[in-house]
Structure formats: structure tokens, C-alpha cells
Amino acid sequence: MNVPLLDLQAQYAALRDELQQAVERVMSSQRFVLGDEVRGLESSIAEYCQTKHAIGCASGSDALLLALMALDIKAGDEVITTPFSFFATGACIARLGARPVFVDVDPLTYNLDPSRVADAITPRTKVIMPVHIYGQCAQMDPLLRHGIPVVEDAAQAIGATDNGRRAGSMGAIGCFSFYPTKNLGGAGDGGILTASDDEVAARLRRLRTHGGSNEYEHEEVGINSRLDELQAAVLNVKLPRLDPWSDERARKAEIYTKLLNDADLRFPLTTPHVRPDGRHIFHQYVIRVPGNRDALMEHLKTHSIGSKVYYPIPLHLQKCFEYLGYKKGDFPQAEAAANETFALPCYPELTEEQQVYVIDTIKSFQ
Ligand SMILES: Cc1ncc(COP(=O)(O)O)c(C=O)c1O
């Protein structure tokens, strides 16, 4: 049996006709940038995320950058975030000349540990930027309590909740990615920002079109980061399926966890921790295997099972961030997670036979 880490072909097969019609609609219109498809998607996403506004942009990475630009982040400012994330989380801060201030993660959820944030706040702290890693929200209330603007990196967490509130609706701005492998994935790069403040939303709209509210007048310097009509058309087809897909991912995750808990393994393995007060959309199903991670992944590979480490090098140990002065050992939880965790295949189309095969293969690992 072959179990890829993700099978986008299976999703495409089910949506082929609708997607082709959507693409044809855009091609026939010959309107490719910021048209009806984008406007329709923006209004559907705002409703879905329980926010007043949603603003499409070219990627999740640009969403993070635009969010910080809209909050006037500049050289000398500090932004508190997690070292255990995709590179863009730290990069958007550094690109504006500001300083990423990393705070270690909670060893159970791998999200920013809220109990450590207060110690990292200085008079220069302008934003706190949690990442809702793997599709589970960071604990937002203790982060919001500091009275510092919060930007949610919700790239992996569309539809996740924290105490009934949707990812992207709790902070000042939410940032999402439509990278093809996300729970809601486009046919290329794409992203969106959510906000409920009218002025913040208007500024984000300006910033994504070179800082101008019309074509030839520019109030400030922005960037060119627009969502295109083809992406929006594809996403408009997929959005109504997002909740059933994410529920199906969560169901697969429950099956894995039950099978693993019943497996009587000869080595320590920890299944994902699911917070009782939220909805986890299982963008990734990540297990922890101290000491045996790489060997187990190799064993899975020899049995044609895909797996992947998210993320092998914490941001504070990236070469480009050497100038920040961090060293190995500064964030022991993030470093341990980088050495001990990896993701198993978990997507709506995964079959129960495939899941049983994955777990049987793990059981056969010595
Ligand atoms: C946590 C996180 N932040 C930001 C991004 C950046 O999104 P994109 O790849 O759309 O630029 C990603 C996507 O991989 C992500 O997982």
C-alpha cells in the first residue's frame, strides 16, 4: 500500500467539473485581478471567520507583512512571536527592520506559551504574533490581556476556534494562507487578511495596492500583493466544503489517536494534545517520538508512507537570524519539538485501511 503525506489528486477528482467551470468563467471574463470572484471570496471569508472585513492578497507571507505594515511596525520595534513556525512568521518582522523576540512554546500544543510572554514585553513591544500551529489556536485570552495589538498567524488554522471564537477574529488582524496544501488551498499562492476595524481594513486594502486608494494617488508606500481572480474562483468552489473537510480531518485524527493509544508500542510516542475549549482543524497530525523520530520516519518511508517534519530548525537557530544573538538552548521546548516531532498523512480522503496500515507499520518499528 502507498500512503502519500497528502493526496491533492483525490480532492481534484471530486471537484474537477466545478473547478473547470470556475476557471472557464474567469477566462471568459478576461478579468484577472481584484474582480467579482475576489470580492465574493472576501465577503464569504469575512462571514466564515466572524469578522467584518476580509482582504485578499498574494500569499500568507504577504498577509503577515501587510498586517505589520498596517500596524506601523518599523525599525526599532519588537514583535513577540514563536520560534517554532514556518519561516515567514519571523521573516515578516525582520523585513520591516523590526526585531523578532522569540518566546518558547508550550510542550503539549507547540503554540506560544502564554505564561512566558510577560517577561518578554519591553517598551518597544508593538505586536504579539501567535501562530495557530497545525490548525489549533494558541490560547488567546492571556495574550490579548496585555493590551498590545495581536496579529494572528492563522495560516494553518482557517475555521479553528478558541472558546467559540474563530481564528482570525480575536486579534486586531488575522492572516491566512491559501497555499495548495492548506485545508483551504488554491491552485497556486494566495492569502487573505481578516479585520473588524474599518480603518485597519481600509489601510490593508490600500497597502496591498501600492498604498493607493485609487490607481494614481498614493497616500503611503505599500506593496503589490493582490489575490487574482483565478485563485479566488477556485477558492469559492472549495470554501463550502471546508467545514466537512476539516471535520473529516479531525475524525481521521481521532482514529489515529485511538489506534496509537491501543497499540502497546515498544517505544514512547505522544499523540497530539487537543485543547478541550477549541476546535482543532488538523492541518497536520503531529506525533512526538523522542530519540526515535528519524529512524521511525525512515521505517515509514521504506513502507511507502509519507511523513514530514514541521519544522526541523527553530527560527532562532536560522542562519539569517544569527544577528539577533540567540543560541542553542535558548528555547528548549521548541528545540525538543524540532528534534522529536513529525506529521503523519492526515487528509479527508485518507481511507481507514490506509490509517490501519500506517499504524501497523508504526507497530512493527523496533
Ligand atoms: C504558520 C505559517 N505562516 C505563514 C505561512 C506563509 O504562507 P504562504 O506560504 O501562503 O506564503 C505559512 C504557510 O506555509 C504558515 O504555515
Mean pLDDT (10-residue bins), the chain, 366 residues: 96 97 98 96 98 98 98 98 98 98 98 98 98 98 98 98 98 98 98 98 97 90 97 98 98 98 95 98 98 97 98 98 98 98 98 98 94
- State the Cα–Cα distance between residues 38 and 55, nearest whole angstrom: 9
Q: Is the CB of 152 under 6 A from ligand 1?
A: no
In ligand 1, which atom is closest to the CA atom of 181? 14
**DSSP bridge pairs for 224:** 209
Q: Is the CB of 156 under 6 A from ligand 1?
A: yes
Q: Is the CB of 153 under 6 A from ligand 1?
A: yes
What is the predicted pLDDT for the residue at 327? Answer: 98
CA of 265 to the centre of ligand 1 (A): 34
Type of residue found at 40: G
What is the predicted pLDDT for the residue at 156? Answer: 98
Which stretch of DSSP H or E encloses residue 284? Answer: none
Most distant CA pair in the chain, distance: 67
CA of 219 to the centre of ligand 1 (A): 29
Q: Whose CA is nearest to atom 10 of ligand 1?
A: 60
- State the Cα–Cα distance between residues 57 and 34, nearest whole angstrom: 9
Cell of 290: 523522542
What is the predicted pLDDT for the residue at 213? Answer: 83
Ligand 1 pocket: which of 59, 61, 136 to mutate (most atoms <8 Å of CB)? 61
Q: Is the CB of 179 under 6 A from ligand 1?
A: yes
CB atoms within 10 A of CB 116: 15
- State the Cα–Cα distance between residues 281 and 272, nearest whole angstrom: 12
The residue length of the chain stands at 366
Ligand 1 pocket: which of 65, 81, 84, 86 to mutate (most atoms <8 Å of CB)? 86
Nearest CA to 95 out of 56, 123, 64 is that of 64
Inter-residue contact 138 to 151 (CB < 8 Å) = no
- State the Cα–Cα distance between residues 205 and 42, nearest whole angstrom: 11
CB atoms within 10 A of CB 302: 8
SS3 of the chain: helix, strand, coil, percent, to 5: 40, 15, 40
What is this structure's pTM? Answer: 0.98
